[in-house]
Structure 1
Amino acid sequence: MKWSEAVAAVRTVEVAGRGDVDVRGVQYDSRRVSGGDVFVAMRGGTTDGNRYIDAAIMKGAAAVVTDSREVFDELRERQPELAVALVEHGRRALAEVSAEVFGHPERVLKLSAVTGTNGKTTTAFLLEQMLQSVGRKCVLLGTIETHVAGVVRESEHTTPESRDVLALFYEGVRAGCTEAVMEMSSHALDQERVWGLPVDVAMFTNLTQDHLDYHGTMERYAEAKARLFAGAGAPPPQVAVINCDDPYEETMCREFCGETLMTYGVDEGDWRAEEIELGAGLTRFVWRTPQGAVRIESPLTGRVNVYNLMAAACAAFARGLTMKEIAKAAGSLKQVPGRFEVVPGSREAGFTVVVDYAHTDDALKNLIALARDLVKEQRGRVITVFGCGGDRDRTKRPKMGRVAAKGSDLVVVTSDNPRSEEPMAIVAEVLAGVRETDTACVVEADRAKAIEMAIRAAGPGDIVLLAGKGHEKVQIFADGAVPFDDVAEAARVLKSEVHA
């Protein structure tokens, strides 16, 4: 592709240099540039890509896009033959030039996108499985994993930069995919990392306190989520699937101006769950809809998964599956890693150890409530191990401490990912909430020791909850990340208990 063709798709302020050079790829990280690439230099929250333009040119960049007038003028004077474009919005330009160079794979795939505080990952996984159950090939982008036509790889971000999304879409189209399912975080929507992606079905799960270190207020957090329903550099979604049991339903609905609104819920909604039955490894309900009713039964656990199932089922219906096909798929759905994941070998020990990603007060409250229901018959206890992430919203720390203590019989406060903060300083803020109750509490900042302590304290019929990190395989400290896996740590302790 000629540079003149690629840059024609970008909203530019000014273009200079040769237009007949060949371009073969797009990069925004100078370390990944190879010969023939377009290098998009944009100012971000932590760094300025314009500082690395010379490095990109040295590695063979054929053209440069910059969002700096000063840099553009300097390049035009210093290297008049260099293909260079000045843009107002760097991230929008990255999306526009990437789409053009990759041949617009986003126009081939039907995209279903989910946003919300909790449930995004599970809903995305469930929808992908439902679509696959009728033979459709999918691309999935999410917090835990990325899938391209069934090939699994680890995810670096919940929602990558637009260039990386489009590269995965391109791979998917070449592999025969017709569907894409992705999580859209509030950060990605606010920063326009999903600019220009045409969404067919948009889903909203819920909104509870999180990421206020970035957004500042719940109102701004909600507004960022709601951008999905207005369309970000693309027409609004064809279909909106919105949880009407959530207080922020109205905010999401107000932004939506597409064709079809599907509201789901337990208390209300046009698509709702009735006659709910819950148990360990069982969720059953009647799905009452404008198209009739069908019984849904799945091996998932907990009331929260009623909502996740309904969100995915509504989206699947919008994507053309019949209610009968959805009900059949629900019966064989697989659990998402790190979402109420039972550690192998724990039940044989007479109690249950569960790993879950719950890292907000609302998610932790729901997790503990589910555990409480499951231990009722055996009169077991709920033992909760959790911490709070460093360099994140500090106001939720006492709230999480309060919620954990109110619902649990024993709380072990430990580290999550302390990042640049002192672990015990985080613990102290959590304890402010715990101490509002009379619940027994133990502090152990070393997460491995905390997990061991909780498991050794467990007795018959108890549930030990290891909350906050879920699927994560590292723990992040001020001096970097170290390997750490809650499931592996718990399995190690259980094995040592067996052989003790």
Structure 2
Amino acid sequence: MRLEQVLHEVNVLSRSGPATAEIRSVEFDSRAVGKGSLFMAMRGGTVDGSQFVDAAVAAGAAAVATDAAEKFASLVERHPRLPLLLVPHGREALARLASNLYNHPEELLGLSGVTGTNGKTTTAFLLDAMLREAGRKTVLVGTIEYHVAGDVRASPHTTPESRDLLQLFAEGTQLGATEAVMEVSSHALEQGRVHGLPFDVAIFTNLTQDHLDYHQTMQQYFKAKQRLFDGRLGAPPRIAVINVEDDHGLELALRSREAGAELFSYGLGVGEFRASSIQLRPEGMQFALETPWGSAEIHSELTGRVNVQNMLAAAAAALGRGLSLQQVVDGATALRHVPGRFQTVQSGQPFTVVVDYAHTDDALRNLIAVAREFADAQPKPGRVLTLFGCGGDRDRAKRPRMGKAAGAGSDLCMLTSDNPRSEQPEAILDDVLPGLRESGVRFLVEVDRATAIRRLLREAQAGDIVLIAGKGHEKTQQVGAELLPFDDASVAAEALAALGYLGHGEAR
């Protein structure tokens, strides 16, 4: 594609060098540059892409764009025969460049975005299942994995950079996809990774403390989430699906309406989309879905009140995308589980073992509440045993809150490592302990996560529910700079086998 075509509607502040070039790809990573690439040398959180321009040129770059105004003159001096472009915002330019190169695949898809602290993944999986059950081909982008018209791929990022996202969309449309469902992280919204994408439906699940290592304050965190709804991405969504039981959701509903979006409000007992006659069991749930389209009975192998809320959000979005109420019901039934979300490990043991991604105090509190309800409902009430930790290089302020939340609802807690990253694991545990002690719960501390899982399972008795929280679907543990193989469900299955439970260790 000619350079001028790739630059269509890109805001260029200054340019030098030849006016023409043939562009084969757009790249933001100099290591991916090849002959004919346009290299977008943009500023990142810790790295300035302009320092890699020479390497990109050596690799065959046909043009370079940068948002480093103070470096532009020196780049022109070093590369006078290369098309060089100065843009005001690197990520916004990258989004437009990639959209032009891939012939605007985002315009061929009904795009639904899900944001919030908790519930994004399950809500996205549910909406994707509903759309697919209705016969539509989809692209799914999120924390656990990517789906491209049925092809399942690894997920390096919850919300990838726009260039990679648009490539996924292009591949999807070539295979017949007409819908895209994606989790939209606060980082992606703040950084402009989804700038210019025409979201038809935007979903807000909730907001609780997380990512303050990046956003600094809850207000800044909320402002990042607002971008999906208030038109700052380019245009507001046609439909805003918002949890009005959340205090931030009430404010967001107002902002969405002011921006021109149609509001679909939901909540367990309030809003246009509600749930009644809720019945929860460890093996699944059922409830009456109340909507402006009428009522329907939902049966699902997912469980817990938080998943009732996720189901309401997905149902509202699906109806907004033109599905019938029956197609919503069929899709809800079709999704049997979401990896790492209340995922049970079954080896014939007389107690329940659950692996879950809960890694905020609110998510942990909700998870324990579900387990407590099930444990108390048995003829002989069981106990709730909770294993958890906190990630390194992340919001330290939430660590004692995690300890307090875990202890408040559990009968026994096991504090252990999560992904310590560059921090010392023992230092992270020390930050959690004040909240855990404040709760008054009996607790154990074991730094090694595999050993901690084995120790906690040895404590379990018939009727208990053992929660292994924090990592969920993850298959690695980050210790320092290393990514070590680690799967909570597999470690639990191996521990159960060592205890004499000889089932298949199947997770569902």
TM-score normalised by the shorter chain: which range applies? over 0.9
Q: Distance in 2 between matches of 1:205 and 1:141?
A: 17
- Residue in 2 that maps onto 1:148: 148
CA contact (8 A) 1:192 1:232 kept: no
Show CA shifts across 1:285-308 (max 9, x none): 111122222221211111110000
| Closer/same/farther in 2, CA of residues 22 and 421 from structure 1, 3 Å limit | same
Q: Is it true that 1:445 corresponds to 2:447 in the alignment? A: yes
Amino acid at match of 1:147: H
- Aligned pairs (5 A) from 1:225-374: 225-256=225-256, 257-345=259-347, 348-374=348-374
Q: Distance in 2 between matches of 1:437 and 1:251?
A: 32
Q: Distance in 1 between matches of 2:308 and 2:331?
A: 15
Unaligned residue ranges in structure 1 (runs of 5+): none
Shift of 1:329: 2.1
- Aligned pairs (5 A) from 1:20-419: 20-256=20-256, 257-345=259-347, 348-376=348-376, 377=378, 378-419=380-421
CA contact (8 A) 1:227 1:255 kept: no
- Aligned pairs (5 A) from 1:468-479: 468-479=470-481
| Closer/same/farther in 2, CA of residues 48 and 300 from structure 1, 3 Å limit | same
Shift of 1:407: 0.7
Shift of 1:46: 1.4
Q: Is it true that 1:2 corresponds to 2:9 in the alignment? A: no
SS in 1 for 2:337: coil
SS in 1 for 2:263: strand
Shift of 1:267: 2.4
Shift of 1:237: 0.4
Larger mean Cα displacement after TM superposition, 286-295 or 355-364: 286-295
SS in 2 for 1:343: strand
Amino acid at match of 1:277: Q
Q: Is it true that 1:456 corresponds to 2:458 in the alignment? A: yes
Q: Distance in 1 between matches of 2:69 and 2:4?
A: 20
SS in 2 for 1:464: strand
SS in 2 for 1:267: coil
Show CA shifts across 1:96-129 (max 9, x none): 1111011110111110000000000000011000
Larger mean Cα displacement after TM superposition, 419-428 or 230-239: 230-239
Q: Distance in 2 between matches of 1:497 and 1:152?
A: 35
Instruction: Indicate the RMSD between aligned Cα atoms, in angstroms.
Output: 1.2
Shift of 1:386: 0.4
Show CA shifts across 1:22-62 (max 9, x none): 10111000001111111000111011110000111111111
Shift of 1:449: 0.4
SS in 2 for 1:342: strand
SS in 1 for 2:227: helix
- Residue in 2 that maps onto 1:483: 485
SS in 1 for 2:229: helix
CA contact (8 A) 1:94 1:163 kept: yes
CA contact (8 A) 1:109 1:177 kept: yes
CA contact (8 A) 2:36 2:62 kept: yes
Q: Distance in 2 between matches of 1:158 and 1:232?
A: 21
SS in 2 for 1:229: coil
CA contact (8 A) 1:223 1:251 kept: no
Q: Distance in 2 between matches of 1:408 and 1:482?
A: 29
Show CA shifts across 1:343-369 (max 9, x none): 131xx1111111000001110011001
- Residue in 1 that maps onto 2:494: 492
Q: Distance in 2 between matches of 1:496 and 1:328?
A: 40
Q: Is it true that 1:426 corresponds to 2:449 in the alignment? A: no
Q: Distance in 1 between matches of 2:285 and 2:215?
A: 35
Q: Distance in 2 between matches of 1:144 and 1:373?
A: 27
Larger mean Cα displacement after TM superposition, 290-299 or 18-27: 290-299
Moved over 4 A (4+): none
Q: Distance in 2 between matches of 1:204 and 1:8?
A: 33
CA contact (8 A) 2:227 2:233 kept: no
SS in 1 for 2:358: coil
CA contact (8 A) 2:375 2:463 kept: yes
- What is the percentage of aligned positions where both structures have the same residue? 54
SS in 2 for 1:230: coil
Shift of 1:499: 6.9
Q: Distance in 2 between matches of 1:194 and 1:383?
A: 40
Amino acid at match of 1:251: E
Q: Distance in 1 between matches of 2:135 and 2:105?
A: 20
CA contact (8 A) 2:382 2:465 kept: yes
Larger mean Cα displacement after TM superposition, 452-461 or 74-83: 74-83
Could you tell me the TM-score, scaled by structure 1's length?
Answer: 0.98
Shift of 1:391: 1.1
